[in-house]
Amino acid sequence: MIKSIDPKKGPRKRKNLVVGKIPITLVAYCLVLLVLVGCADPNRVYERNLDFPENLWLADSIAEFEFEIKDVQQSYNLHYNVRNSNSYPYHNLYVQYTLEDSLGNILSKALQNMDLFDPVTGKPLGDGLGDIFDHRILAIADQQFPKTGWYRFKIQQFMRQDSLPLIMSMGLRVEIAGDTPEPGQSR
């Protein structure tokens, strides 16, 4: 109960707000929970992002992710999650990825180029707010995994610069395959 004071009558008790016979706070909590549950992405199997200290990606620093595959009947898409500053000095980012099984056997390895800015106009690509831009770029489409278990995905920058400035984070998203763009293209 909330007490309010009427200067003429002194303190009095005020009833809590209710909807029917249910307190309004319970209704609000249920609505928030419903929204949060409704926002879940049913295709996402794994997603994690690693922040680089001082927004500097060192050439010998490998972003490494471990994820579990439980259904080998599905095909999966693997995406890079890249966050960069609008002041990033290049229009693109070269990375080399390695996909390994739990025993360290290499399933796939490639050097890939991804555009973070339009190469002609210099306009930032991806989703941005202020001078920070986020990109989800397809790395591997329709990947079939040979068995259930844990897999490792390693990403290393290949920009011929030891300290790559203004790349804030690199991440991996693994999702059940659907209609997807070509590898290296933004979604």
User: pLDDT band for position 142 (50/70/90)?
Assistant: very high
Neighbouring residues of 33: CB distance < 8 A, sequence distance ≥ 6: none
Question: Which fold is adopted by the domain 44-176?
Answer: Jelly Rolls (2.60.120)
DSSP code, position 53:
G
Distance from C-alpha of 2 to C-alpha of 63, rounded to nearest angstrom: 53
> pTM for the complete prediction?
0.74
Please say whether the beta carbons of 61 and 170 come within 8 A: no
Handedness of CA 114, 119, 122, 123 (dihedral sign): negative
Whether the per-residue pLDDT at 121 is higher than 50: the answer is yes
Whether the per-residue pLDDT at 115 is higher than 70: the answer is yes
Distance from C-alpha of 109 to C-alpha of 115, rounded to nearest angstrom: 19
Which tokens belong to 20? Answer: 């029917």
Please say whether the beta carbons of 113 and 93 come within 8 A: yes
Q: What is the pLDDT of residues 143-179, one digit of tens each?
A: 999 999 999 999 999 998 889 999 999 999 999 997 6
Residue burial 95-108, b: 16+ Cβ < 10 Å; e: rest: bebbbbbeeeeebe
Query: Can you give the residue ranges of every domain in the chain?
Result: 2-38, 44-176
Instruction: State the residue for tokens 């200290």.
Output: 53
